[in-house]
Structure 1
Amino acid sequence: MLDDKFEYLLRLGDNALVLSQRLTEWVGKGPALEEDMALANTALDLIGQARLWLAYAGELEGLGRSEDQLAFLRDAHQFRNVLLVERPNGSYADTLMRQYLFDSWHLLLLDALTRSADSQIAAIADKARKEVTYHLRRSDDLVMRLGDGTAESHRRLQDALDELWMYTGELFETDDVDAVLQAQGVAESTATLHEAWLAQVSRTLNAATLTMPSPQAWMQQGGKQGRHTEQMGYLLAEMQFLQRAYPGQQW
């Protein structure tokens, strides 16, 4: 069970870490000052969550690896984040839609994890849930405003939704790691969250006058098992450069 829990914690931490890295790429380049600050603050929240998940993973592993070592000294195939969060930023519409699809799932998952049989997972989830509640409120509002805004903003968001939808199925994929921890009451079945997620996303997209793709559409998968897109290598090359170039250095 220890190996399964370590693997699960990596998934939680890597999702937050990789998405945080993507959002920091917008710093100084946001479409408006308030959005630049909002993206940076969301990234800071996520990096804080990643530290908590990865620190606990390192503690359970028992090999003396800190959250920094897990973040900066693993190769792409050792990361367990879903493919959605490593997708390139693209336009602001792409970034916003990626954020909304993730936030709407993330909050449901964290809410379920507050009832975990593992008290430390429950405590981290409870803290993170407060931050992600704001993340979803913001991304939900912007999707509705821009989806039902100008013809250009509508088109861009619809294109982003159509492109990213194939990466949402992995959020609800269940494998042996999930099954073991669900049986122990440690983790919630992400498959059981799918119906609630679809209902929530459907309401937002309808309000945004956007067309939701079919839930039965073909879906990408593999990130949770360490099979990533070519973009992951470029992301890690930038994120890990200082620690790889100067091993063991600290601020």
Structure 2
Amino acid sequence: MSGDDHIYSVLAQEHGGDDRWAFGTGFTDALAGVDTTLPEGVDGDDLALYCQMLGDDALVQAQRLVHWVTDAPELEEEVALANIALDLLGQARLLLSRAGQADGTGRDEDRFAYWRGPAEFRNVHLAEAPRGDFARAVATLLVLSTARLAVFTRLVDSADPVLSAIAAKAVNELAYHREYAVSWTLRLGDGTPFSHERMAAAVADVWPLTGELFATHPVEARLAAQGAGVDPSTLADEVHGVLTQVLTTATLAAPAPFPEAAVAGRDGRHTPDLPPLLDELQGVAREHPEATW
């Protein structure tokens, strides 16, 4: 190699001379080979918005979780949280791809992830909330994974075969996410006086944001009636029962009932915490719009 050759120029020649090669990952269509025909009796626009809701929950939570990479209390926990984030990112890819198929626009997951503003995101507020300390991250993951597992367990029987297939893959991942959060809740709650105090404070911080998880959006109600979606309000007792068992076993106080909440994030009304999180997520893609992602 001559002195004025740059390593990236050489590598670019190995990738067809395209200097943008380093920005891409070579992902193919997430739903390639899957029959994406819209089932009879299921509204495509509703299904698309529903997939955005579920996909945005995963995408935003994944972005928040990666803040723990290089900052978790142990290397093993960095790896575990990074893997959970990757699971959620994979779910988001499939769900957002399905959204573009269902509404007929053909938008892929990148278009949804990188080229929407905060008001176009449909995630719940708990997914975008500041990470706080490690106990807060555990409490957030515990609540979100428990609620999401309940939803996806039922979506395995969705009238939309694509959503059903996505759910069938996701339930095993979500079961691990919940197991991980439960193990740390027990470890912190029934540990030292200080860890018990931090875990109790984390649950108290998270709890006011839980009600939105069970506020039914009109799209969720319509799709539940069509057999394609799930009405989250029907899951509140089940999820509360699981969380009660976990928290009391961890020697923490039994949780209060979920607070009543209106639909907010599902309609694009977010907290000030979401825009800077999206700036991190979308910044490179928007700075290099011609790159392959």
Asked if these proteins are the same fold (TM beyond 0.5), I'd say yes
1:110-142 CA deviation, whole Å, 9 max, x = no partner?
101001111111110000111111111111111
Q: Which residue of 2 aligns with 1:118?
A: 160
1:172-191 CA deviation, whole Å, 9 max, x = no partner?
11121111101100012111
Pairwise CA distance, 1:217: 3.5
**Whole-Å separation in 2 of the counterparts to 1:216 and 1:129:** 23
2:244 to 190, 199, 202: 202
For the residue of structure 1 that corresponds to 2:68, the secondary structure is coil
Q: Which residue of 2 aligns with 1:234?
A: 276
Taking a change above 3 Å as real, the CA distance of residues 165 and 221 of structure 1, as seen in their structure-2 partners, is farther
2:91 to 49, 52, 59: 49
**Whole-Å separation in 2 of the counterparts to 1:217 and 1:64:** 38
Q: Does residue 249 in structure 1 map to residue 249 in structure 2?
A: no
Pairwise CA distance, 1:105: 0.7
Pairwise CA distance, 1:63: 2.1
Pairwise CA distance, 1:218: 5.1
**Whole-Å separation in 2 of the counterparts to 1:228 and 1:157:** 26
Residue correspondences, number = 251
Q: Does residue 186 in structure 1 map to residue 228 in structure 2?
A: yes
Aligned letter for 1:17?
A: L
Q: Does residue 224 in structure 1 map to residue 266 in structure 2?
A: yes
Aligned letter for 2:91?
A: Q
Aligned letter for 2:279?
A: A
For the residue of structure 2 that corresponds to 1:240, the secondary structure is helix
2:200 to 158, 170, 173: 158
Q: Which residue of 2 aligns with 1:30?
A: 72
The residue correspondences of 1:49-128 to structure 2 (distance < 5 A) are 49-128=91-170
**Whole-Å separation in 1 of the counterparts to 2:170 and 2:100:** 19
**Whole-Å separation in 1 of the counterparts to 2:263 and 2:206:** 13
**Whole-Å separation in 2 of the counterparts to 1:232 and 1:214:** 27
Q: Mark the runs of 5 or more structure 1 residues left unpaired by the alignment.
A: none
1:189-233 CA deviation, whole Å, 9 max, x = no partner?
111111111111000000011123421545475111110000000
**Whole-Å separation in 2 of the counterparts to 1:226 and 1:186:** 22
Q: Which moved more, 1:167-176 or 1:55-64?
A: 55-64
Taking a change above 3 Å as real, the CA distance of residues 218 and 120 of structure 1, as seen in their structure-2 partners, is closer
Given that 2:210 and 2:259 are in contact with CA atoms closer than 8 Å, whether structure 1 keeps it comes out as: no
Q: Which residue of 2 aligns with 1:137?
A: 179
C-alpha RMSD of the superposition: 1.2
- Quote the sequence identity (%): 42
User: Whose radius of gyration is greater, 1 or 2?
Assistant: 2
Given that 2:244 and 2:255 are in contact with CA atoms closer than 8 Å, whether structure 1 keeps it comes out as: no
Given that 2:216 and 2:263 are in contact with CA atoms closer than 8 Å, whether structure 1 keeps it comes out as: no
**Whole-Å separation in 1 of the counterparts to 2:236 and 2:260:** 16
Given that 1:106 and 1:132 are in contact with CA atoms closer than 8 Å, whether structure 2 keeps it comes out as: yes
**Whole-Å separation in 1 of the counterparts to 2:73 and 2:152:** 30
Given that 1:182 and 1:189 are in contact with CA atoms closer than 8 Å, whether structure 2 keeps it comes out as: yes
For the residue of structure 2 that corresponds to 1:230, the secondary structure is coil
Q: Mark the runs of 5 or more structure 2 residues left unpaired by the alignment.
A: 1-42
**Whole-Å separation in 2 of the counterparts to 1:214 and 1:134:** 25
Pairwise CA distance, 1:64: 3.0
**Whole-Å separation in 1 of the counterparts to 2:210 and 2:258:** 11
Taking structure 2 as the reference length, what is the TM-score of the superposition?
Answer: 0.83
Given that 2:247 and 2:255 are in contact with CA atoms closer than 8 Å, whether structure 1 keeps it comes out as: no
Structure with the higher fraction of residues in helix conformation: 1
**Whole-Å separation in 2 of the counterparts to 1:122 and 1:169:** 26
Taking a change above 3 Å as real, the CA distance of residues 211 and 221 of structure 1, as seen in their structure-2 partners, is farther
